[in-house]
Structure 1
Amino acid sequence: MSGMRSYGDPCGVARGLDVIGERWALLVVRDLLLGPKRFNDLHAGLPGVSPNVLTQRLRDLTEHGVVQRRDLPPPARVRLYELTDWGRDLEPLLLHLGRWGSQTPTTPDGLLGIDSILLSIKAAFDPANAAESSGLYELRIDADTYVIEDTADSLRISRDTAPNPPDATLTTNLDTLRAIYDHQITLATALDSGSLHLDGNEAAKQRLTSLLLASFAPSPRPTNVP
């Protein structure tokens, strides 16, 4: 990897860190889990990284087969970055790391990104406690649309529009969603104020609400953390 020293250890953990152990590398992977992004969109979601460092991380991850570039044809002329199949294999690791990291005793002052909030929904999903019914939901957050496909025993979230009419739709902005996630306001308060809208049949709206609230619940802290 360009500019990165290898641990020189044949253990799989060390070999994996040779690929994704550089600062910002795993966060780039995290922000591509829900779908492809342009460079500017990646940079906007990682405000602490400089353009030069982000360029280097994307180059490194591409060279190692974790990320791939895709150029859209004219008239779009847009270069997208997306995970390869091997890169997507990192999803369980990142979801588990997110659950583990959320138990740390301190929280940085930075703003939580939309990708992190939506991935927390997936991380909190427990098939053992899931309803038997399945559902298709759309989340419209500012100008972006996301799809949640709930099949009772699995949950898929992607940056996309629903292939069929969704069973329920949630429309809001990122500031409102952050406020609910941080327990500054409740979902009911957001609904009453009109800053969040839920549309669809009642059963689907209840199911979507349950998925959100399960992920927004405070994470339990280890008993040995002061």
Structure 2
Amino acid sequence: MSPRRSYDQYCSAARALDLVGDRWTLLIVRELLAGPRRYTDLHADLPGVSTDVLASRLKDMERDGLSTRRRLPPPGAAYVYELTRRGRELLPVLQALGSWGERALGERRPTDAVRAHWFALPLSRSFGGGSAGLVEVRLEEGEFHLWVGSEEGPLYGEGPAPEEPDARLSFFDAEAYGAVGRGELSLREAVRQGRVGVVGEGALAKELRDV
């Protein structure tokens, strides 16, 4: 393993960038916020990263205490990567970075890859500091579920919710979640305009319908 590069500056921002400033590292953190992931799954959801770079970043993250690797018991018997507590502490950093980058997002370009679960972070910001709970989300690109207000465990997961969610959201057009992701439209306003359907009897569903 090659030695970690450093800015060699006695500054907390520089030290943080020593750890997560390399290309792809924070996007790997984004993927691991979904919980344990296999290498093949990470590679599939990080289009554009080479196998060598992904392997190198994962080794760096393990060395720096941001993630761990463990072997699943049979019959899985595959290795998975997951964030440590220190790694999960990067969630507000990613949220702040995503909020700052909303104005740079613009319209989707023909060359842009997209995954449904990439909308989990901006959507979680849309709920603010209200009720906590499990939300199932349906987009044109697929489904994912989101634990709103979760401080432990995964932030989101692919596919339908593993149990009865507090709310089910259906975005009726791509522009609706694009506008929410860019910060141009609040989730509550999208519901009010009839561009997002809300089903459920949990507190989160009731709050969204109370517009």
TM-score by length of 1: 0.68
Q: Which runs of 5+ in 1 are unaligned?
A: 192-197, 211-226
Q: Distance in 1 between matches of 2:78 and 2:175?
A: 33
- 2-side partners of 1:139 and 1:83: how far apart? 24
Larger displacement relative to structure 2 (78-87 or 136-145): 136-145
Task: Name the count of aligned residue pairs.
Answer: 192
User: 1:121-165, CA deviations, whole angstroms, 9 ceiling, x for partnerless residues?
Assistant: 1223322xx4xx5544334678865243459xxxx8332876763
Residue pair 1:69, 1:81 contacting (<8 A) in 2 also: yes
Cα deviation per residue 1:52-82 (whole Å; 9 max; x = unaligned)?
1111111111111111112111111121111
2: distance between equivalents of 1:93 and 1:190?
A: 28
* 1:117 equivalent in alignment to 2:119: yes
> Which residue does 1:31 correspond to in 2?
31
Deviations 1:6-56 (CA, angstroms, capped at 9, x unpaired): 111121111111111111111111111232211111111110111111111
> Paired residue for 1:10?
10
Aligned ranges 1:79-98 → 2 under 5 Å? 79-98=79-98
In the alignment, does 2:136 pair up with 1:138?
yes
1:167 matched to 2:163? The reply is no
Is the deviation greater in 66-75 or in 6-15? 6-15
Q: 2:177 matched to 1:181?
A: yes
The TM-score with structure 2 as length reference comes to: 0.72
8 Å Cα contact 1:96-1:123 kept in structure 2: no
Mean Cα deviation higher: 53-62 or 135-144:
135-144
When residues 122 and 169 of structure 1 are mapped into structure 2, their CA distance, relative to the original with a 3 A threshold, is closer
Q: Could you tell me how far 1:206 is from its partner in structure 2?
A: 5.0
Distance 2:14 2:3 in 1: 17
Aligned pairs for 1:141-160 (under 5 A) are 145-149=144-148, 157-159=155-157
- CA 1:56–1:206 in structure 2 vs 1: closer, same or farther (change >3 Å)? same
Could you tell me how far 1:205 is from its partner in structure 2? 3.9
SS at match of 1:8: coil
Residues 67, 87 of structure 1: 8 Å contact kept: yes
User: Compared with structure 1, are the counterparts of its residues 117 and 61 closer, same or farther at alpha carbon in structure 2 (3 Å cutoff)?
Assistant: same
Q: Distance in 2 between matches of 1:143 and 1:60?
A: 32
Please state whether the residue corresponding to 2:32 is helix, strand or coil.
coil
Q: CA distance change for structure 1 residues 157 and 60 in 2, over 3 Å: closer, same or farther?
A: closer
In the TM superposition, residue 199 of structure 1 has moved relative to its aligned partner by 4.3
Q: Does 1:126 pair with 2:125?
A: no
Equivalent runs, 1:28-67 vs 2, <5 Å: 28-67=28-67
Q: How far, CA to CA, are the matches of 1:178 and 1:204 in structure 2?
A: 22
Coordinate RMSD, CA, aligned: 3.5
SS in 1 for 2:48: coil
- Larger mean Cα displacement after TM superposition, 70-79 or 133-142: 133-142
Instruction: Report the alpha carbon displacement of residue 108 of structure 1 after superposing the two structures with TM.
Output: 6.3
Contact between 1:70 and 1:80, CA under 8 Å: does it hold in 2? Answer: yes
Alpha-carbon distance in structure 1 between the residues aligned to 2:80 and 2:91: 19
Q: Is the 8 A contact 2:47 2:113 kept in 1?
A: no
Q: Aligned with 1:76: secondary structure?
A: coil
